[in-house]
Amino acid sequence: MDRELKYRRLDQASPEELSSLRKKVRLSEWRQKFHVQPVMGLMNDPNGFSYYNGEYHLFYQWFPLGTFHGLKYWYHTSSKDLVFWQNQGIAIEPGHPHDAYGAYSGSGIVKDGKLCLMYTGNARDEEWNRQSYQCMAVMDRDGSITKLDKPLIDHVPDGYTEHFRDPKVWQDKDKYRFVIGAQRVDQTGAAVVYESSDLLVWEFKGEIQTRLQHFGYMWECPDYFELEGQGVLLFSPQGLLPVDDHFRNIYQSGYISGKPLNRDTLEFDHGPFCELDRGFDFYAPQTMLDEKDRRIMVGWMGLPDIGYPTDSHGWAHCLTLPRMLTFREGRLIQQPVPELRALRDHAAEAADTLHSEVKSYEGVQGTAFEMICEFQAIEADVVGIEFRAGEGERTVLRYESGQRKVTLDRSSSGAAIVSDYGAERSCMLPTERNSIKFHLFVDISSVELFINDGEEVFTSRIFPKWNSRNIRFFVQNGSAGLKVEKWDLTEAVKDKEGAE
């Protein structure tokens, strides 16, 4: 793509262009109701997720003037409760020599009453070679944000390419540390640690010593934290090949966990890499520790380098709902934060036993809803749900009890999304039981599915027609009990007029 088009600044757009973009977005049938989404243009990674000054602050990567990955800004939203979000406008604007080609991903930490935002400045030299700088901007209590004039780190250490980005900062008593995504000169991915006592002067410490020495060509958006006594490294590796039901998307995101990271040697004794999500659209998640001491994660409900049906509507992508992380039997469990119950509106329920049949229930349908559905005493080959169903359209969730296999099928979900990566995603559940619980959050163009209270999660965009609102429950070859609770969900994000 034409470089000038790609790196256009928001202030280079005419009022006519902006109003025609806004109009396109307004007319889009796939605007979400309760997910954070861009007022226009393209959003990607969540950034700077923090609790500061009595509020949650969530920033994200944003290119305002198109639905491609152009010049990246940080956009700011805030919330008192992780449910209702207020758009606050641009937080970090690219423009200094060291971030002229984008204010890339990063994180936030509170120090001396200010929210310090660390990010990667993306620059280019005369030969158009990429250059990465680690930078800082500081937010005051009144919400004003000032970038520091100079980068904190102005070079990439020996042994790494300029694919060196996405600092995630944390505090260990007297020291600050950040982990950053890196590519070694031999084109393999790694996570690197820096240390500081004041957030301003940083010392390169080295790589986190993992067992994954040849695991993709780049690790994006790493995040290190400790939870229930375990060390956890989340990251988004690029370049993994599919293995059975795993690694089916263009890029993946997952974690390794084990004994806490040794801060001196950077040794990390960990188990296998586990995918965080088994659906189609989940990437670059970021966590924060909130004022209730909970580890909360938000991800980008999208992936780089593939097109989506809203691209022609002037906007692309959204963030996931905030999820609380805990451990169960050595695996990370994700659950929607309980605050989300505040979105619940009109309720409907059903209880039944199904025998090799398909059934619907009065009031149990919709386009933006939460549903908890439990199949019990399963004596059938397959149980499942069809939702956002209408003429010729449906999204199908299937559980094959013999194989303990859950499948999400979006082949008939509506407008097509790149087919190169298939239209089904499956996973095997870790534990044997004769019941299954599906907790679904369905928005106008997405589904988030939490299975058995978060032991597996599927996150996906779907693009059905506005009137595809039926929900059907099915049991094949046998019988199963069924319990359903469903709530319509209300609007949760304010597109403050002029907030770009």
Positions annotated as catalytic residues are 45
Closest separation between CB of residue 210 and ligand FRU, Å? 19
Backbone angles phi, psi at 308, to 5 degrees: -130, 155
- Told to check if 308 binds ligand FRU by CB under 6 A, we report no
By beta-carbon proximity to ligand FRU, the closer residue of 8 and 165 is 165
Tell me how far apart the alpha carbons of residues 456 and 317 are, in angstroms, rounded to a whole number: 22
By beta-carbon proximity to ligand FRU, the closer residue of 7 and 387 is 7
- Of the candidates 416, 498, 422, 424, the one whose C-alpha atom is nearest the C-alpha of residue 463 is 416
Q: Give the pair of three-digit tokens for residue 107.
A: 């994180």
- Of the candidates 324, 410, 318, 395, the one whose C-alpha atom is nearest the C-alpha of residue 25 is 318
By beta-carbon proximity to ligand FRU, the closer residue of 106 and 454 is 106
By beta-carbon proximity to ligand FRU, the closer residue of 105 and 395 is 105
Cβ neighbors of 246 (< 8 A, separation 6 or more) are 275
* Residues 259-298 as x/- pattern, contact with ligand FRU by CB under 6 A: ------------------------xx--------------
By beta-carbon proximity to ligand FRU, the closer residue of 147 and 388 is 147
* Residues 153-182 as x/- pattern, contact with ligand FRU by CB under 6 A: ------------xx----------------
Q: Which of 95, 239, 260, 304 forms a contact with ligand FRU (CB under 6 A)?
A: 304
- Contact between residue 224 and residue 232 where contact means Cβ atoms under 8 Å apart: yes
Footprint on residues 187-216 left by ligand FRU (CB under 6 A):
none
Backbone angles phi, psi at 206, to 5 degrees: 130, -170
Tell me how far apart the alpha carbons of residues 238 and 189 are, in angstroms, rounded to a whole number: 8
Over its C-alpha atoms, the chain yields an Rg (Å, rounded) of: 22
Footprint on residues 322-351 left by ligand FRU (CB under 6 A):
none
The distance from CA 132 to its chain's CA centroid, rounded to whole angstroms, is 23
Please identify which residue in the block is written with the tokens 């996570």: 191
The 3 state secondary structure assigned to 21-78 is HHHHHHHCCCCCCCCCCCCCEEEEEEEEEEEECCEEEEEEEEECCCCCCCCCEEEEEE
By beta-carbon proximity to ligand FRU, the closer residue of 70 and 336 is 70
Provide the terminal-to-terminal Cα distance of the chain, rounded to the nearest Å. Answer: 24
CB atoms within 10 A of CB 349: 14
Written as one letter, the residue type at 206 is: G
By beta-carbon proximity to ligand FRU, the closer residue of 253 and 365 is 253
Footprint on residues 38-97 left by ligand FRU (CB under 6 A):
44-45, 61, 72
Q: What angle do CA 441, 446, 450 make, to 5 degrees?
A: 40
The residue count for binding ligand FRU (CB under 6 A) is 14
- Contact between residue 48 and residue 59 where contact means Cβ atoms under 8 Å apart: yes
- Told to check if 99 binds ligand FRU by CB under 6 A, we report no
Closest separation between CB of residue 253 and ligand FRU, Å? 10
- Contact between residue 161 and residue 183 where contact means Cβ atoms under 8 Å apart: yes
By beta-carbon proximity to ligand FRU, the closer residue of 35 and 72 is 72
- Told to check if 221 binds ligand FRU by CB under 6 A, we report yes
Q: Is residue 209 left, alpha or beta, with left meaning phi > 0 and alpha meaning psi from -120 to 50?
A: beta
Q: Which of 67, 79, 120, 253 forms a contact with ligand FRU (CB under 6 A)?
A: 120
Closest separation between CB of residue 274 and ligand FRU, Å? 20
Closest separation between CB of residue 284 and ligand FRU, Å? 4
Which residues bind to ligand FRU, rule: CB under 6 A? 44-45, 61, 72, 104-105, 120, 165-166, 220-221, 283-284, 304
